[in-house]
Amino acid sequence: MDIKCFFVVVLTFYLLGCHSYQHDAIAYQESLLQQQAPASNTLNDKSSLLTHLNDTWFEPQTISDELLFALTDEQKQIFDAFYTHPRYAHLSAPARFSEFLTTRLAKFTYHGQTYTASEAFDKMSGNCLSLAILTTALANHAQLDIRYQRVDAAPVYEKHGNILLLSTHVRTRVYGPKPEPKEGLIITREFVVIDYFPTYSDVRGEMLSENEFFAMYHRNMAAQAIIEQDYDQAYEYIKLGLTYRAEHSETYNMLAVLYNRIRQRDSAMALYHDLLEQSRSSLNAIENYASLLVQDGKEEVAQQYFIQIEGINDNNPFQWLSLAERHLRSGQLRLAEKYAKRAAQHGHYLHEPHFALAKIYAKQNKNGAARRSLERASELARKPDDEKRYLAKLDSLN
Protein backbone atom coordinates (compact mmCIF):
# COMPACT_ATOMS: atom_id res chain seq x y z
CA MET A 1 0.00 0.00 0.00
CA ASP A 2 1.18 3.49 -0.75
CA ILE A 3 0.01 6.51 1.21
CA LYS A 4 1.29 9.90 0.23
CA CYS A 5 1.32 12.53 2.99
CA PHE A 6 0.87 16.03 1.67
CA PHE A 7 2.13 19.02 3.57
CA VAL A 8 1.11 22.55 2.80
CA VAL A 9 4.16 24.28 1.45
CA VAL A 10 3.42 27.72 0.10
CA LEU A 11 0.88 30.31 1.09
CA THR A 12 0.31 33.27 -1.18
CA PHE A 13 -1.74 36.17 0.12
CA TYR A 14 -3.39 38.42 -2.45
CA LEU A 15 -4.22 41.82 -0.96
CA LEU A 16 -6.05 43.83 -3.58
CA GLY A 17 -5.84 47.62 -3.33
CA CYS A 18 -6.57 50.50 -5.64
CA HIS A 19 -3.11 50.64 -7.14
CA SER A 20 -1.05 47.82 -5.68
CA TYR A 21 -0.65 44.07 -5.87
CA GLN A 22 0.94 42.14 -3.04
CA HIS A 23 1.69 38.53 -2.34
CA ASP A 24 3.41 36.88 0.60
CA ALA A 25 4.63 33.32 0.26
CA ILE A 26 5.08 30.96 3.15
CA ALA A 27 7.03 27.76 2.73
CA TYR A 28 7.09 25.30 5.56
CA GLN A 29 8.32 22.06 4.16
CA GLU A 30 11.92 21.04 3.70
CA SER A 31 12.00 20.95 -0.08
CA LEU A 32 12.38 24.54 -1.17
CA LEU A 33 16.14 24.98 -1.52
CA GLN A 34 19.13 23.12 -2.94
CA GLN A 35 18.23 19.45 -2.89
CA GLN A 36 21.84 18.28 -3.02
CA ALA A 37 22.55 20.03 0.28
CA PRO A 38 20.14 19.03 3.06
CA ALA A 39 21.27 21.94 5.24
CA SER A 40 20.81 24.52 2.48
CA ASN A 41 17.87 26.20 4.23
CA THR A 42 19.77 26.39 7.49
CA LEU A 43 20.77 29.86 8.60
CA ASN A 44 24.25 30.93 9.51
CA ASP A 45 23.31 32.96 12.59
CA LYS A 46 20.05 32.04 14.25
CA SER A 47 20.61 34.19 17.36
CA SER A 48 20.23 37.51 15.53
CA LEU A 49 16.94 36.39 13.98
CA LEU A 50 15.48 35.17 17.27
CA THR A 51 15.60 38.78 18.45
CA HIS A 52 12.81 39.55 15.95
CA LEU A 53 10.31 37.60 18.07
CA ASN A 54 8.01 40.06 19.83
CA ASP A 55 5.59 38.65 22.40
CA THR A 56 4.07 42.06 23.16
CA TRP A 57 1.94 42.02 19.99
CA PHE A 58 0.19 38.75 20.82
CA GLU A 59 -1.91 37.26 23.61
CA PRO A 60 -0.26 34.17 25.16
CA GLN A 61 -1.71 30.85 24.00
CA THR A 62 -1.49 27.38 25.53
CA ILE A 63 -0.56 24.78 22.93
CA SER A 64 0.49 21.24 23.82
CA ASP A 65 1.91 18.47 21.66
CA GLU A 66 1.17 15.75 24.23
CA LEU A 67 -2.04 14.52 22.56
CA LEU A 68 -0.77 14.75 18.99
CA PHE A 69 0.13 11.04 18.67
CA ALA A 70 -2.16 9.70 21.43
CA LEU A 71 -4.62 6.90 20.60
CA THR A 72 -7.58 5.77 22.70
CA ASP A 73 -7.62 2.32 24.26
CA GLU A 74 -10.38 1.28 21.85
CA GLN A 75 -8.33 2.39 18.86
CA LYS A 76 -5.33 0.45 20.10
CA GLN A 77 -7.50 -2.64 20.53
CA ILE A 78 -8.80 -2.34 16.96
CA PHE A 79 -5.24 -2.14 15.67
CA ASP A 80 -3.97 -4.97 17.88
CA ALA A 81 -6.81 -7.28 16.88
CA PHE A 82 -5.79 -6.92 13.26
CA TYR A 83 -2.03 -6.75 13.76
CA THR A 84 -1.86 -9.93 15.86
CA HIS A 85 -4.52 -11.92 13.99
CA PRO A 86 -3.34 -15.45 12.99
CA ARG A 87 -4.41 -14.71 9.41
CA TYR A 88 -1.45 -12.36 9.08
CA ALA A 89 1.07 -14.34 11.13
CA HIS A 90 3.04 -15.26 8.02
CA LEU A 91 3.69 -11.59 7.24
CA SER A 92 6.57 -9.57 8.62
CA ALA A 93 5.82 -6.72 11.04
CA PRO A 94 6.10 -3.97 8.41
CA ALA A 95 3.95 -5.97 5.98
CA ARG A 96 1.25 -6.45 8.63
CA PHE A 97 1.37 -2.76 9.40
CA SER A 98 0.95 -1.94 5.73
CA GLU A 99 -1.91 -4.43 5.43
CA PHE A 100 -3.76 -2.70 8.27
CA LEU A 101 -3.42 0.67 6.59
CA THR A 102 -4.59 -0.82 3.32
CA THR A 103 -7.71 -2.21 4.96
CA ARG A 104 -8.52 0.47 7.52
CA LEU A 105 -7.66 3.55 5.48
CA ALA A 106 -9.04 2.45 2.13
CA LYS A 107 -11.85 4.97 2.54
CA PHE A 108 -9.79 7.70 4.16
CA THR A 109 -11.24 11.00 2.92
CA TYR A 110 -8.92 13.88 2.14
CA HIS A 111 -10.11 16.93 4.04
CA GLY A 112 -8.41 20.24 4.71
CA GLN A 113 -8.59 20.03 8.50
CA THR A 114 -5.56 18.93 10.51
CA TYR A 115 -6.48 16.35 13.15
CA THR A 116 -4.63 14.57 15.92
CA ALA A 117 -3.98 10.85 15.48
CA SER A 118 -7.04 9.91 17.53
CA GLU A 119 -9.32 12.29 15.64
CA ALA A 120 -8.06 11.10 12.25
CA PHE A 121 -8.59 7.46 13.31
CA ASP A 122 -12.21 8.10 14.29
CA LYS A 123 -13.15 10.41 11.44
CA MET A 124 -11.18 8.53 8.76
CA SER A 125 -10.58 11.92 7.20
CA GLY A 126 -8.26 14.85 7.45
CA ASN A 127 -5.53 16.45 5.41
CA CYS A 128 -2.39 14.48 4.61
CA LEU A 129 -0.60 15.88 7.61
CA SER A 130 -3.29 14.20 9.70
CA LEU A 131 -2.59 10.96 7.87
CA ALA A 132 1.14 11.22 8.59
CA ILE A 133 0.42 11.85 12.26
CA LEU A 134 -1.90 8.83 12.41
CA THR A 135 0.71 6.64 10.68
CA THR A 136 3.32 7.75 13.21
CA ALA A 137 1.02 7.04 16.17
CA LEU A 138 0.27 3.52 14.94
CA ALA A 139 3.94 2.82 14.27
CA ASN A 140 4.83 4.03 17.76
CA HIS A 141 2.20 1.75 19.28
CA ALA A 142 3.49 -1.23 17.29
CA GLN A 143 7.04 -0.37 18.37
CA LEU A 144 8.13 0.08 14.77
CA ASP A 145 10.60 2.74 13.77
CA ILE A 146 9.47 5.40 11.34
CA ARG A 147 11.40 7.78 9.12
CA TYR A 148 10.27 10.63 6.92
CA GLN A 149 11.50 11.45 3.43
CA ARG A 150 10.81 14.59 1.44
CA VAL A 151 9.52 13.98 -2.07
CA ASP A 152 9.23 16.57 -4.82
CA ALA A 153 5.86 16.16 -6.46
CA ALA A 154 3.51 18.11 -8.69
CA PRO A 155 2.11 21.01 -6.65
CA VAL A 156 -1.49 20.93 -5.51
CA TYR A 157 -3.29 24.27 -5.26
CA GLU A 158 -6.06 25.04 -2.81
CA LYS A 159 -7.71 28.44 -2.32
CA HIS A 160 -9.12 29.78 0.94
CA GLY A 161 -10.64 33.18 0.26
CA ASN A 162 -7.73 35.46 -0.57
CA ILE A 163 -5.17 32.83 0.40
CA LEU A 164 -3.68 30.37 -2.04
CA LEU A 165 -2.01 27.23 -0.69
CA LEU A 166 0.51 25.20 -2.63
CA SER A 167 1.10 21.68 -1.34
CA THR A 168 3.88 19.17 -1.66
CA HIS A 169 4.48 16.07 0.40
CA VAL A 170 6.70 13.72 2.33
CA ARG A 171 6.45 9.98 2.55
CA THR A 172 7.20 7.68 5.43
CA ARG A 173 9.18 4.51 5.89
CA VAL A 174 8.08 2.06 8.56
CA TYR A 175 10.84 -0.32 9.68
CA GLY A 176 10.65 -3.72 11.30
CA PRO A 177 12.61 -4.69 14.43
CA LYS A 178 16.37 -4.45 14.24
CA PRO A 179 17.89 -7.83 13.28
CA GLU A 180 20.57 -9.41 15.41
CA PRO A 181 24.04 -8.53 14.08
CA LYS A 182 26.02 -11.42 12.63
CA GLU A 183 29.76 -11.34 12.25
CA GLY A 184 30.93 -10.99 8.68
CA LEU A 185 27.43 -10.27 7.33
CA ILE A 186 25.76 -7.05 6.31
CA ILE A 187 22.22 -7.20 7.68
CA THR A 188 19.62 -5.11 5.89
CA ARG A 189 16.51 -3.89 7.66
CA GLU A 190 13.09 -4.44 6.13
CA PHE A 191 10.78 -1.47 5.70
CA VAL A 192 7.61 -0.47 3.87
CA VAL A 193 7.14 2.85 2.13
CA ILE A 194 3.94 4.71 2.96
CA ASP A 195 3.18 7.08 0.11
CA TYR A 196 -0.24 8.57 -0.65
CA PHE A 197 -1.10 8.61 -4.39
CA PRO A 198 2.49 8.17 -5.65
CA THR A 199 3.08 9.38 -9.19
CA TYR A 200 5.71 8.59 -11.77
CA SER A 201 7.12 12.10 -11.60
CA ASP A 202 7.86 12.12 -7.86
CA VAL A 203 11.51 12.87 -7.11
CA ARG A 204 13.04 11.55 -3.91
CA GLY A 205 14.69 14.01 -1.57
CA GLU A 206 16.58 13.91 1.70
CA MET A 207 15.49 12.05 4.80
CA LEU A 208 14.00 14.25 7.52
CA SER A 209 14.68 14.10 11.23
CA GLU A 210 11.97 13.89 13.87
CA ASN A 211 12.66 17.51 14.81
CA GLU A 212 12.17 18.53 11.20
CA PHE A 213 8.85 16.70 11.12
CA PHE A 214 7.68 18.50 14.28
CA ALA A 215 8.85 21.81 12.84
CA MET A 216 6.77 21.07 9.72
CA TYR A 217 3.73 20.36 11.85
CA HIS A 218 3.98 23.64 13.74
CA ARG A 219 4.54 25.63 10.55
CA ASN A 220 1.47 24.00 9.03
CA MET A 221 -0.62 24.71 12.12
CA ALA A 222 0.58 28.31 12.10
CA ALA A 223 -0.50 28.61 8.48
CA GLN A 224 -3.93 27.20 9.33
CA ALA A 225 -4.22 29.75 12.13
CA ILE A 226 -3.32 32.56 9.72
CA ILE A 227 -6.06 31.35 7.36
CA GLU A 228 -8.50 31.55 10.28
CA GLN A 229 -7.06 34.97 11.23
CA ASP A 230 -6.10 33.65 14.66
CA TYR A 231 -2.81 35.50 14.73
CA ASP A 232 -2.12 34.89 18.43
CA GLN A 233 -2.25 31.14 17.88
CA ALA A 234 -0.21 31.44 14.68
CA TYR A 235 2.53 33.24 16.59
CA GLU A 236 2.54 30.56 19.29
CA TYR A 237 2.92 27.80 16.69
CA ILE A 238 5.77 29.68 15.03
CA LYS A 239 7.57 30.01 18.36
CA LEU A 240 7.09 26.30 19.05
CA GLY A 241 8.36 25.46 15.58
CA LEU A 242 11.53 27.40 16.29
CA THR A 243 12.16 25.24 19.36
CA TYR A 244 12.58 22.30 16.97
CA ARG A 245 14.42 24.10 14.16
CA ALA A 246 15.60 27.48 15.38
CA GLU A 247 17.74 27.97 12.30
CA HIS A 248 15.12 27.30 9.62
CA SER A 249 14.64 30.21 7.22
CA GLU A 250 11.09 29.30 6.19
CA THR A 251 9.79 29.68 9.73
CA TYR A 252 11.18 33.20 9.87
CA ASN A 253 9.67 33.84 6.47
CA MET A 254 6.29 32.86 7.94
CA LEU A 255 6.90 35.13 10.93
CA ALA A 256 7.53 38.05 8.55
CA VAL A 257 4.28 37.28 6.73
CA LEU A 258 2.47 37.23 10.07
CA TYR A 259 3.93 40.63 11.00
CA ASN A 260 2.80 41.98 7.66
CA ARG A 261 -0.70 40.64 8.31
CA ILE A 262 -0.96 42.41 11.70
CA ARG A 263 0.24 45.65 10.04
CA GLN A 264 3.69 45.61 11.59
CA ARG A 265 5.20 46.23 8.18
CA ASP A 266 8.42 47.81 9.41
CA SER A 267 9.14 44.77 11.58
CA ALA A 268 8.36 42.46 8.66
CA MET A 269 10.74 44.39 6.42
CA ALA A 270 13.46 44.37 9.08
CA LEU A 271 13.10 40.62 9.52
CA TYR A 272 13.21 40.03 5.76
CA HIS A 273 16.31 42.21 5.51
CA ASP A 274 18.13 40.29 8.23
CA LEU A 275 16.90 36.97 6.85
CA LEU A 276 18.23 37.76 3.40
CA GLU A 277 21.56 38.86 4.84
CA GLN A 278 22.04 35.17 5.55
CA SER A 279 23.77 33.47 2.65
CA ARG A 280 21.19 30.66 2.37
CA SER A 281 17.69 32.07 2.34
CA SER A 282 14.63 30.74 0.53
CA LEU A 283 13.03 31.58 -2.78
CA ASN A 284 9.85 32.63 -1.02
CA ALA A 285 11.50 35.02 1.41
CA ILE A 286 13.47 36.67 -1.38
CA GLU A 287 10.41 37.14 -3.56
CA ASN A 288 8.29 38.39 -0.65
CA TYR A 289 10.86 40.99 0.30
CA ALA A 290 11.34 42.10 -3.29
CA SER A 291 7.57 42.46 -3.73
CA LEU A 292 7.34 44.68 -0.65
CA LEU A 293 10.22 46.79 -1.96
CA VAL A 294 8.32 47.27 -5.22
CA GLN A 295 5.30 48.49 -3.25
CA ASP A 296 7.58 50.99 -1.50
CA GLY A 297 8.71 52.30 -4.89
CA LYS A 298 12.18 50.76 -4.62
CA GLU A 299 12.07 48.91 -7.94
CA GLU A 300 15.83 49.05 -8.56
CA VAL A 301 16.64 47.47 -5.20
CA ALA A 302 13.89 44.92 -5.70
CA GLN A 303 15.28 43.95 -9.08
CA GLN A 304 18.56 42.96 -7.44
CA TYR A 305 16.67 40.46 -5.31
CA PHE A 306 14.67 39.15 -8.27
CA ILE A 307 18.00 38.52 -10.00
CA GLN A 308 19.16 36.71 -6.86
CA ILE A 309 16.22 34.30 -7.23
CA GLU A 310 17.44 33.38 -10.69
CA GLY A 311 20.84 32.47 -9.26
CA ILE A 312 19.56 30.05 -6.62
CA ASN A 313 20.53 26.49 -7.42
CA ASP A 314 17.28 24.70 -6.65
CA ASN A 315 16.86 21.49 -8.63
CA ASN A 316 13.25 20.92 -7.57
CA PRO A 317 11.39 21.46 -10.88
CA PHE A 318 8.07 21.96 -9.13
CA GLN A 319 9.39 24.90 -7.15
CA TRP A 320 10.26 26.68 -10.39
CA LEU A 321 6.97 25.59 -11.93
CA SER A 322 5.01 27.12 -9.06
CA LEU A 323 6.94 30.37 -9.46
CA ALA A 324 6.20 30.33 -13.20
CA GLU A 325 2.48 29.79 -12.59
CA ARG A 326 2.44 32.54 -9.99
CA HIS A 327 4.00 35.06 -12.36
CA LEU A 328 1.74 33.92 -15.18
CA ARG A 329 -1.31 34.68 -13.04
CA SER A 330 0.03 38.15 -12.23
CA GLY A 331 0.84 38.88 -15.90
CA GLN A 332 4.63 38.90 -15.48
CA LEU A 333 5.21 36.84 -18.59
CA ARG A 334 8.98 37.33 -18.91
CA LEU A 335 9.60 35.94 -15.42
CA ALA A 336 6.98 33.24 -15.95
CA GLU A 337 8.78 32.07 -19.09
CA LYS A 338 12.16 32.10 -17.38
CA TYR A 339 10.99 30.00 -14.44
CA ALA A 340 9.02 27.57 -16.63
CA LYS A 341 12.21 26.96 -18.61
CA ARG A 342 14.08 26.31 -15.36
CA ALA A 343 11.38 23.80 -14.42
CA ALA A 344 11.75 22.08 -17.79
CA GLN A 345 15.54 22.03 -17.37
CA HIS A 346 15.41 20.33 -13.96
CA GLY A 347 12.43 18.13 -14.85
CA HIS A 348 13.19 17.12 -18.43
CA TYR A 349 10.85 14.13 -18.03
CA LEU A 350 7.84 16.28 -16.98
CA HIS A 351 5.05 17.48 -19.23
CA GLU A 352 3.78 20.23 -16.89
CA PRO A 353 6.56 22.80 -17.57
CA HIS A 354 5.97 22.55 -21.31
CA PHE A 355 2.25 23.09 -20.83
CA ALA A 356 3.06 26.16 -18.71
CA LEU A 357 5.32 27.42 -21.51
CA ALA A 358 2.53 26.85 -24.01
CA LYS A 359 0.17 29.02 -21.94
CA ILE A 360 2.83 31.71 -21.60
CA TYR A 361 3.59 31.74 -25.34
CA ALA A 362 -0.13 31.88 -26.14
CA LYS A 363 -0.42 34.96 -23.92
CA GLN A 364 2.47 36.48 -25.89
CA ASN A 365 0.80 35.60 -29.21
CA LYS A 366 3.73 33.32 -30.06
CA ASN A 367 1.54 30.62 -31.54
CA GLY A 368 4.38 28.68 -33.15
CA ALA A 369 6.26 28.38 -29.85
CA ALA A 370 3.02 27.54 -28.04
CA ARG A 371 2.32 24.79 -30.57
CA ARG A 372 5.78 23.25 -30.14
CA SER A 373 5.45 23.33 -26.35
CA LEU A 374 2.07 21.61 -26.53
CA GLU A 375 3.50 18.96 -28.82
CA ARG A 376 6.33 18.34 -26.35
CA ALA A 377 3.89 18.22 -23.41
CA SER A 378 1.79 15.69 -25.32
CA GLU A 379 4.87 13.54 -26.00
CA LEU A 380 5.84 13.51 -22.32
CA ALA A 381 2.35 13.00 -20.92
CA ARG A 382 1.97 9.51 -19.46
CA LYS A 383 -1.71 9.75 -18.62
CA PRO A 384 -4.15 9.46 -21.56
CA ASP A 385 -6.30 12.28 -20.16
CA ASP A 386 -3.35 14.69 -20.14
CA GLU A 387 -2.35 13.71 -23.66
CA LYS A 388 -5.92 14.19 -24.92
CA ARG A 389 -6.12 17.58 -23.24
CA TYR A 390 -2.91 18.77 -24.85
CA LEU A 391 -3.89 17.45 -28.26
CA ALA A 392 -7.25 19.21 -27.99
CA LYS A 393 -5.56 22.51 -27.17
CA LEU A 394 -3.12 21.92 -30.03
CA ASP A 395 -6.06 21.42 -32.40
CA SER A 396 -7.57 24.69 -31.24
CA LEU A 397 -4.28 26.49 -31.88
CA ASN A 398 -4.02 24.98 -35.36
Kindly state the average pLDDT of the residues 1-7.
Answer: 36
Bridge-based pairing state of the strands 191-194 and 15-16: unpaired
pLDDT at residue 141 is higher than 60: yes
Q: What is the pLDDT of residue 117?
A: 92
Q: Please report which confidence band the pLDDT of residue 158 belongs to, taking 50, 70 and 90 as the band edges.
A: low
- Residue that wins the pLDDT comparison between 55 and 126: 55
pLDDT at residue 12 is higher than 50: no
Mean pLDDT score of the chain: 77
Same CATH fold assignment for domains 5-311 and 317-397: yes
With b meaning 16 or more CB within 10 Å and e meaning fewer, what string describes 165-192? bbbbbbbbbbbbeeeeeeeeeeeeeebb
Q: What is the pLDDT of residue 360?
A: 94
Q: What is the pLDDT of residue 73?
A: 96
Q: What is the pLDDT of residue 11?
A: 33
CA–CA distances in Å: residue 11 to residues 38, 98, 203, 256, 338: 22, 33, 22, 13, 22
Q: Which of 48-57, 185-194, 212-221, 291-300 has the lowest mean pLDDT?
A: 185-194
Q: What is the pLDDT of residue 267?
A: 94
Kindly state the average pLDDT of the residues 93-97.
Answer: 90
Question: Residues 380-390: pLDDT tens digits?
Answer: 887 777 777 77
Kindly state the average pLDDT of the residues 44-70.
Answer: 84
**Domain residue spans in the chain?**
5-311, 317-397
CB 283 within 8 A of CB 314: yes
Kindly state the average pLDDT of the residues 75-87.
Answer: 94
Q: Which of 14-23, 161-170, 314-323 has the lowest mean pLDDT?
A: 14-23
Q: Kindly write down the DSSP assignment for every residue of 258-301, as one continuous string.
A: HHHHTT-HHHHHHHHHHHHHSSS--HHHHHHHHHHHHHTT-HHH
CB 229 within 8 A of CB 22: no
Nearest to 98 by CA among 198, 196, 192: 192
Question: Residues 105-137: pLDDT tens digits?
Answer: 777 776 667 788 999 898 888 776 787 888 899
Q: Please report which confidence band the pLDDT of residue 45 belongs to, taking 50, 70 and 90 as the band edges.
A: low
Q: Please report which confidence band the pLDDT of residue 316 belongs to, taking 50, 70 and 90 as the band edges.
A: confident
Percent of the chain with pLDDT over 90: 23
Question: Residues 162-208: pLDDT tens digits?
Answer: 455 555 567 778 887 777 666 655 567 788 877 655 555 555 667 88
Q: Which residues pair with 152 in a beta bridge?
A: 203
Give me the sign of the Cα torsion angle 83, 142, 220, 208: negative
Q: Which of 23-32, 91-100, 113-122 has the lowest mean pLDDT?
A: 23-32
Three-state SS for 21?
Answer: strand
CATH 1.25.40.10 fits 317-397, yes or no: yes
Q: What is the pLDDT of residue 132?
A: 80
Q: What is the pLDDT of residue 361?
A: 93
- Residue that wins the pLDDT comparison between 271 and 203: 271
Q: What is the pLDDT of residue 126?
A: 77
CATH 1.10.600.10 fits 5-311, yes or no: no
Q: Which residues pair with 151 in a beta bridge?
A: 169, 204
Question: Residues 325-357: pLDDT tens digits?
Answer: 888 888 889 989 999 998 898 888 888 899 999
Q: What is the pLDDT of residue 35?
A: 24
- Residue that wins the pLDDT comparison between 156 and 70: 70
Q: What is the pLDDT of residue 359?
A: 92
- The amino acid occupying position 25 is A
Kindly state the average pLDDT of the residues 65-85.
Answer: 93
Q: What is the pLDDT of residue 161?
A: 55
Kindly state the average pLDDT of the residues 235-260.
Answer: 88
